[in-house]
Amino acid sequence: MAGLEELRNVLHVIRAWLYPNYLEHGGKFIARAKTERTLSVEQVCAEAVTRGGSDLNYDTMVDAVNAYFDEAFYQLADGFSVENGYFSIHPKIGGTFDHADDKADKERNPVDFAFRKRRELRDVISRITVEIEGAAESGAYIAEVLDVTSGTSDERLTAGGVVTILGSRVKIAGEDPSCGLYLAQADGSTIKVTGNLVDNQRNRISAQLPTLPPGVYRARILTQFSGGGALLKEPRRIDYGVELTV
């Protein structure tokens, strides 16, 4: 397809904001991509057809992509690795075993998948330029979500594990019963987890997560913390746009 050759050769630009790095002292910053939204399979296929990146019609392309992913993950679930030129996916088993005859346990030895970049993706990355648009607004925001249990950033959540949220004015404070840390799902439902706060500071909060069903979540904070001495009259809502997977 013409779109593949274009992707190999075109120069791409990722725009980013700078946020204070609360894990280090000395005024350093970290960059976060200025992502407008997360694209679904249908949206990517629509863009490909509109842009001319695919010579397939929209319905055929959506059906083909969905069929590929359904089969790819069926094979992954049977222990095969899958690669598509841009990245490969490999099953992996976490945790440790007590002896050579030990059996796998779902809680102690969770199944996960590792992604590795392939040559095509490395070629695309080499053509990406990052443009910094300055420091992010100094108001309240979430800059990063760390899953302490798995050691990952802005990627996953471990049910029953510990999560740390870094940002500005994220401290949960106030008498309003709605104040707290939430995990919001795509259907609009939320799970409140503030009853298990283990750290609650201006720029950092940590919480013990409850048992969570598998799915995709986004972090949300409701707080009356203002950064000064007085509390806000109404809770401020702070949403994080990055999807986190359980």
pLDDT, tens digit, 9 for 90 and up, residues 177-216:
999 999 988 888 898 987 678 889 888 999 999 888 888 8
Give the pLDDT score at 40: 85
Query: What is the token pair recorded at 198?
Result: 């283990």
Please report which confidence band the pLDDT of residue 5 belongs to, taking 50, 70 and 90 as the band edges.
Answer: low
Give the pLDDT score at 195: 65
Give the pLDDT score at 224: 92
Measured between alpha carbons, how far is 60 from 45 in angstroms, rounded to an integer? 10
Give strand ranges (E) for 80-127. Answer: 82-83, 87-93, 111-117
Give the pLDDT score at 103: 93
pLDDT, tens digit, 9 for 90 and up, residues 100-145:
999 999 888 989 888 899 999 999 899 899 999 877 665 788 888 9
Give the pLDDT score at 7: 52
H or E stretch covering 9: helix 2-9
Taking 50 as the threshold, does the pLDDT of residue 166 lie above it?
A: yes
Q: Are 37 and 152 in contact (CB under 8 A)?
A: no
Give the pLDDT score at 2: 47
Find the largest Cα–Cα distance for the chain: 60
Taking 80 as the threshold, does the pLDDT of residue 23 lie above it?
A: no
pLDDT, tens digit, 9 for 90 and up, residues 38-84:
778 999 999 988 887 788 899 999 999 999 999 999 999 999 999 99
Taking 60 as the threshold, does the pLDDT of residue 30 lie above it?
A: yes
Query: What is the token pair recorded at 23?
Result: 């894990």
DSSP per residue over 39-83, as a string? PPHHHHHHHHHHHTS-SS-HHHHHHHHHHHHHHHHHHHHTT--EE
Mean pLDDT for the chain overall:
85
pTM: 0.60
Q: Are 114 and 93 in contact (CB under 8 A)?
A: no
Rounded to 5 degrees, what are φ and ψ at 178? -80, -15
Residue in the block written with tokens 């990055």: 242
Give the pLDDT score at 101: 93
Taking 60 as the threshold, does the pLDDT of residue 14 lie above it?
A: yes
Domains observed in the chain: 2-132 (4.10.520.10), 139-245 (2.70.50.70)
Q: Are 192 and 180 in contact (CB under 8 A)?
A: yes
pLDDT, tens digit, 9 for 90 and up, residues 211-238:
888 888 999 999 999 877 788 889 999 9
Please report which confidence band the pLDDT of residue 89 belongs to, taking 50, 70 and 90 as the band edges.
Answer: very high
